[in-house]
Amino acid sequence: MQKAQERKRAGARLDGGAEKLRAAIRLSGYGAHAPRAFAGLNPCASLWPEKLAKVEKRVSGYPVSQELGCLSGVIRLKITDQPGGLPAMKRVVLIGLDPATVDFSDPALPPGMTAEKIHAGVKLALADFEARGWHAENCYFSPDETAVPTIERLLTSRAYDCVVIGAGVRLPPGRLILFEKVVNAIHRVAPQAAIAFNTRPDDSGAAAARWV
């Protein structure tokens, strides 16, 4: 009889722990994202010590910002202020001239560069951004009066950690004034963002990594 009462009390404590775990999963967004760490876990069920131990091992390695006490120990969960409860990802954008507007005969540009190579290089750059764990974006603009407004609309739409400026804006001497306008627009509208410069589209990830 005494053992049955102890088991009942233990079950109540575990149910309380499960309730905390369920609330934390909901709060952290893990329930929506269903990471592998919680695959097959039913936080609504009573969790006995051996199950709790397995759960704790499965979530080990996540940064600890909140601890939930349970009968068998502590289950550690990452709780953040980010939407969905996931750690914030860096947001990096590559900006540059629309390839259709570039004069590839300019000796200041790398020899053999074409619009097709620019587009292919940008695709590689964005893939590199994502491989580094960043939100990847690209924005083309024209070398005319629409350049600055285009950049301002982009940078006011969300917060960026780094803006990579394409070499086609920076290298040609005839683009000096446009280059200054672009840099000043970034500094004015997104002062929190680092500014990086590539030498060609596919080294944009390395350029951003110097500052992110």
**Type of residue numbered 163:** V
pLDDT value at residue 40: 41
**What backbone phi and psi angles, to 5 degrees, belong to 48?**
-85, 160
Q: How many whole angstroms separate alpha carbon 192 and alpha carbon 143?
A: 25
pLDDT at 2: 57
Specify the CATH number for 91-209; select among 3.40.50, 3.30.70, 3.40.1360, 1.10.10.
3.40.50
**The predicted structure's pLDDT at residue 39:** 37
pLDDT more than 70, % of the chain: 59
Give pLDDT tens digits for 113-145.
999 999 999 999 999 999 999 999 999 999 999
Phi-psi region of 85 (alpha: psi -120 to 50; beta: other; left: phi over 0): left
pLDDT over 50 at 59, yes or no: no
pLDDT in tens, 21-54: 554 444 443 333 333 333 344 443 344 344 444 4
Q: How confident is the model at residue 56 (pLDDT cuts 50, 70, 90)?
A: very low
C-alpha dist (Å) from residue 71 to 1, 22, 96: 21, 16, 57
Q: What is the pTM of this model?
A: 0.61
Reported as a single tens digit per residue, the pLDDT across 160-190 is 999 999 999 999 999 999 999 999 999 999 9
Instruction: Give the tens place of pLDDT for each residue, 70-101.
Output: 333 333 333 333 444 455 799 999 999 999 99
